[in-house]
Amino acid sequence: MPRGPLLLALLALVGLLTVACEQAPGEQPPPEEPEEVEVGVAAPDDVDGADLLRVGLLNPATGPFAALGEDVDDGFLLYLDEAGGELGGFAVEVLIEDEANDPDLAAERAAELAEGGGIDIAIGFVNSRVAYEAASVFASAGVPLLITVAGADDLTQRDADPSVFRLSYTSSQDAMPLGAYACEEFGYETVSVVALDYAFGWEAAGGFARAYTDAGCEVVDERYVPLDEQDWVPFLQELDDGADAVWAAAAGPDAIRLLQAYEDVGIGLPLIGHGALTDEEVLAQQQALADGVVTSLHFAATLDTPEARAFVEAFEEGHGRPASRAAEAGYAAAMVVEEALAGHEQVSRARLIHSLGDVDVVAPRGRLRFDEFGQAVHDVHVREVTATPEGWQNTIVETFEDVSQFWRYDPEEYLELPRYEELRGTWQHGGP
């Protein structure tokens, strides 16, 4: 499709900022320095400040989640291009920073965007630990924040702020439906759990385990693995192989290494897990390693709707790589901002915060709206990796509609329960 001069300038900048994170499973990536970003894509000279929307993209361009950060930025820029460089009738200035998967650096650069950059809205975060540290910077400055990938449950639960919204799942949200499904439909009476050893892993495992055990089944083992661990074999060798299945949560390069180790160890149990495990961003590298893996997530590139097909085709044609959940989140972020700006005569942080909560759009994933805590409500799909003539794909086998971050639980009662961080390691003993 034709690309306007604004998008060409944006893409040139993004190309300088992003670093690919594709390396062979088990290969140690070279040390990376956080990008020193010169923020800014100049707005037209004749645009008055009141007619200009300044957007800050704060995603990782270096570190283990660089590919996901690149996808978020490119998804946002794709929608902006399709919208002619404007959102809600306002010209857009995009300021890009690299949070480098570093909580302290992310907080520092969030402050730079909120103060020196003068942004009207922030979009980003992939790592939950980073989001927990840096989201408060935007909240304190009164800058609305759209979290794109980071699960960080409590940012839209116990620690919710009216200025913070999330387009993706809470870490536990998309995991809970598979917990019930694995017990009730697959008939897996026992599972072993393996997950990354930080907030995303604890919360995803907790959501799955809570729904799974409440359905009447049992977690018999839990193992937690450091982020960016190069050798998953020792952790998988320790898993209880007497279970009916293994549930796993890993993302990015860790998801590739986990599946390779799963084959190397020769575990013969069915593998199920969080949707990040076989996200399109890693599936192209996993290929046959992922054969038959079942996961749950709010997006799959195989969704058969006009919105999903158009997005997947445009993204893959424009970037030559699969359309991941992160790319969809970036695209949906631009869509949400445009809807929130409808009827605004000028850009205002306060008015944006007020109107974001009322957004209800049909994104590539399907219907997307926010609950009273600012968390996305969306469909969640059970997907199985299958081989097709076009390659490996996440084939949808079941859909749960309008899944909230509280699943089937009463929100007030749910929020009285211990945080998932506190429950790490307890599920194999019967949970709370």
| Statement: residue 429 has pLDDT above 60 | yes
Band of the pLDDT at 202, cuts 50, 70, 90? Answer: very high
Q: Calculate the alpha carbon distances from 391 to 36, 176, 292 in Å.
A: 38, 28, 14
Span of 9-18, 30-39, 122-131 with lowest mean pLDDT:
9-18
pLDDT digits (tens, 9 = 90+) for 284-310: 999 999 999 999 999 999 999 999 999
Per the prediction, the chain carries an average pLDDT of 90
Write down how long the chain is.
432
| Statement: residue 119 has pLDDT above 50 | yes
What pTM did the predictor assign?
0.89
pLDDT of 426 reads: 97
Q: Calculate the alpha carbon distances from 238 to 151, 235, 248 in Å.
A: 27, 5, 14
Span of 4-18, 102-116, 413-427 with lowest mean pLDDT:
4-18
| Statement: residue 82 has pLDDT above 50 | yes
Band of the pLDDT at 86, cuts 50, 70, 90? Answer: very high
Burial zone of 341 (CB within 10 Å; 0-12 exposed, 13-18 middle, 19+ buried) = buried
Band of the pLDDT at 5, cuts 50, 70, 90? Answer: very low
Q: Which residues of 294-331 are buried (b: 16+ CB within 10 A; e: fewer)?
A: bbbbbbbbbbeeebbeebbebbeebbebbbbbbbbbbb
| Statement: residue 18 has pLDDT above 90 | no
| Statement: residue 94 has pLDDT above 80 | yes
pLDDT digits (tens, 9 = 90+) for 345-394: 999 999 999 999 999 999 999 999 999 999 999 999 999 999 999 899 99
Residue 76 one-letter amino acid: F
Band of the pLDDT at 403, cuts 50, 70, 90? Answer: very high
Can you tell me the distance from the alpha carbon of 206 to that of 417, in angstroms, rounded to the nearest whole number?
Answer: 12
- Calculate mean pLDDT across residues 132-152: 96
pLDDT of 21 reads: 33
pLDDT of 431 reads: 77
DSSP 61-110: SSSTTHHHHHHHHHHHHHHHHHTTTEETTEEEEEEEEE-TT-HHHHHHHH
